[in-house]
Structure 1
Amino acid sequence: MRLGSLERSIMEALWNRPEGALAQDLAGALPSRPAVTTVLTVLVRLSHKGMVSRERLGRAHLYRAAATKDSFVAETMRAALDEAGDLEAAVNRFVGTVSPEVAAALRDALAGRDGAVP
């Protein structure tokens, strides 16, 4: 799932605040200083996408990320691979671009899933 720049900024702020945040607090914390109404509009959009949950808190709502940033990144990678015309070519190109640390993490993850990777 692709996010616009304001959506991404709001999600980053929520991932950094697992306890949640009010729209007014988010608007004040973002570098671009958007209007609270703009932040509310984006939060509603993110809620419809299943990325944000909200809880009534008096007259306002407390917003929280519905999943961790790691979960979001993993789902984004999976969705991108699902769109590949040639899965093997896409994976090979991806692997050819990653750092040694990422390659090691991939090997470790695969070893944990399949028992062993040669």
Structure 2
Amino acid sequence: MTESIRRPAGELEAAVLSALWAAERPLTPAEVQQVLPGVLARTTVATILARLHDKGTVSRTRAGRAYAYSPVVEDHAALAAHRMHTELDKERDRPGVLARFVSRLTSDDEELLRDLLAQPVVPEEPR
């Protein structure tokens, strides 16, 4: 009896995002499927892309009968920040959430955060 091997949560999303980051143009699910290692069904790739779109992580435009997808965030750090903002936006008690987050920082991370907060904010360039 063979057991199916389940990938850890988020591994496929990370692989799809890496493929999109490496591309110099929007990719369709079929194109993403071609550059991913291993064997994944096109429908699986399309589902992952649709979920990433629903999360606001990728944008999509029509490409014939399909969609072509582009990343909304430019790298892993921006993705983590996007996820943190998404979670924070879900909560009514923003001060409570931020206070609990900060209380769990290591002293090195706390120092880094203080340094970052002391720097002037540079507006992001539109994509």
TM-score (normalizing by structure 2)? 0.63
List 4+ stretches of structure 1 deviating above 6 A: none
After superposition, the C-alpha distances for 1:49-79 in whole angstroms (9 at most, x for unaligned) are 1112111112222111122224213234565
Aligned to 1:64: 70
5+ residue gaps, structure 1, are 97-102
Deviation at 1:17, TM superposition (A): 1.8
Give the total of aligned pairs: 105
SS of aligned partner of 1:91: coil
5+ residue gaps, structure 2, are 1-8, 89-95, 122-127
Q: Which amino acid aligns with 1:47?
A: H
Q: How large is the Cα RMSD of the aligned pairs? A: 3.2
TM-score (normalizing by structure 1)? 0.67
Equivalent of 1:53 in 43, 59, 74 = 59
| Relative contact order, higher structure (CA 8 A, sep 6+) | 1
Q: More helix by proportion, 1 or 2?
A: 1
SS of aligned partner of 1:53: strand
Quickly say closer, same or farther: Cα 1:61–1:76, change in 2 above 3 A. closer
